[in-house]
Amino acid sequence: MQTLTVALPGREYDIFIESGLLDRAGAYCRTVLPRAGRVVVVTDSNVAPLYAKRVTASLEGAGFAAGLTVIPAGESSKSVTMLERLYDDLMDFGLTRSDAVLALGGGVVGDLAGFAAATILRGVDLIQMPTTLLAQVDSSVGGKVAVDLKAGKNLAGAFWQPKLVLMDPDCLTTLDDKTFADGMAEVIKYGCIWDERFCEFLLSLGGREGVMTQIDGILAACCDVKRQVVERDERDTGLRMILNFGHTLGHAYELFGKYETYTHGQAVAAGMCRAADIGVRLGITPAGVPEAIAALLCMYGLPTAIDCGMAHYEAAVGLDKKGDGGDISLILLTKLGKAEAVKLPKSEVLHLLEAFSL
C-alpha cells in the first residue's frame, strides 16, 4: 500500500493507494467516521454497475446505513439542477451533520458530491473514492469542489477537504483508452511543472501497458506533488496556481467543443503545448520544451493543438479565476520540470494567441 498524508492543520487526511480497496472501504471509512450512522454513496451511471454494490456492501459490513444515488454520466451533471436533486436525495435518506457523503467516480462525481457535502447542513464529511485516472491523480485531492454555471466551468464552488481518499488502481482496468489518456494529461502535467525526470520516466514506459506496470508509484508521485503544493497554498492564491498549467487555454478548447467534443484531458494537453509556445515566444520557456511535451502527449494519444478561434480564447481568459482586473496569471515553464505564474495583461496574452492562429 502507498500512503500519503495531507497535513493541513485541523483538516489532515490520508490518501491510501492499493488494489482491492473497493472491498475494504467500509473499514477505512469507520476509522475516520466513528460517529456516523449513514453514508450516502454518490456515483454515476457508468460506475454504478461496476462498483456500487461492492462499496455499499463494504459500508454496511462496517455498520453504516448505506444510501446510493446515481447521476447521469457526463459533464452536464455538474450543474445547479443536479445539485438540487442531490440535496433532495441526501435529505430523503435522513442525512445528519454527523453523517457523510462518499464520492465514487470520476471528476464530475467528485466535484458535484463534494460541493453538496460542503454546503448541505452547512457541511458534512466527505470521502473521495476516485475511479478514473484523472480523478485519482488530481481532482480527488486538494479540496476543490464545484459545479458549472451557464457562464462557465467551476464558477460556483468551495474548498472542502475530504476526510479520506481511497484509490483502488484496479478501477483503471475498466477505463477505455480515451478516458485513460484523459488522465495521462494530468499525469504529464505534474512532470512538466515539478520534475523533469518524471517526464523522462513516463516517456520510457511507452504507453498505457507500461504505465499500468508502475501505476501505484505513479499515482503516489502525482498525489505527493499535489500534497506538497496544497499544504503550502490551500486556497490557490500562490504556488497552487501552477497546478493549472495548460488549464486557462484548455478551458477555451472545452468551451469551443461545448464541453462534449474534447475531454478535459484533451483540452489541457493542447493547452500545455500552447502555453509552452507562448513561454518560448516570451523568452521564459527554453526552446525545445514544447517539442518534449508534444512527444509525451502523442505517446498517449493526446492532441497537441486545437484551433478554437479568438472568441473562445477571449471568453476563457475573461472568466479565468486567476485573472485580476486587466491582467491574468498565466502558468508558464521556466524549464521542463519548473513552472511559475507570470502576470501578463490579458490583451497581451490574446495578442500572442492571435499571432499563433495566423
Residues 80 and 155 sit within 8 Å (Cβ to Cβ): no
Which uninterrupted H or E stretch holds 68? strand 65-71
* Same fold across 2-173 and 177-357: no
Report the CATH superfamily, name and number, of domain 177-357.
Answer: Dehydroquinate synthase-like - alpha domain (1.20.1090.10)
Cell readout for 328 is 491574468
Phi/psi of residue 164, each to 5°?
Answer: -165, 145
Residue 225: name the closest of 196, 191, 248 by CA.
Answer: 191
Q: Following DSSP, what letter does each residue of 169-225 receive, concatenated?
A: GGGGGGS-HHHHHHHHHHHHHHHHHH-HHHHHHHHHH-SHHHHHHTHHHHHHHHHHH
Q: Quick one: pLDDT at residue 207?
A: 95
Burial class (CB in 10 A: 0-12, 13-18, 19+), 6: buried
**Which residue bears the cell 493541513?**
8
pLDDT tens, position by position, 278-335: 999 999 999 999 999 999 999 999 999 999 989 999 988 877 666 667 899 999 999 9
Confidence band of 146 (pLDDT split at 50, 70, 90): very high
Q: What is the model's pTM?
A: 0.94
Distance CA 40, CA 127 (A): 10
Which of 349, 356, 352, 355 is CA-nearest to residue 326? 349
Residue 259 has a pLDDT of: 86
Phi, psi of 155 (to 5 degrees): -85, -15
Could you tell me the three cell numbers for 110? Answer: 467528485
CATH number of 2-173: 3.40.50.1970
* Grid cell listed for 195: 520534475
Helix axis angle, 289-299 relative to 264-282, nearest 10°? Answer: 170
Q: pLDDT tens across 96-137, in order?
A: 999 999 999 999 999 999 999 999 999 999 999 999 999 999
Q: Is the pLDDT confidence value at 161 over 80?
A: yes
The pLDDT tens digits for 337-347 are 999 999 999 99
Mean pLDDT of all residues belonging to the chain: 95
Domain locations in the chain as residue ranges: 2-173, 177-357
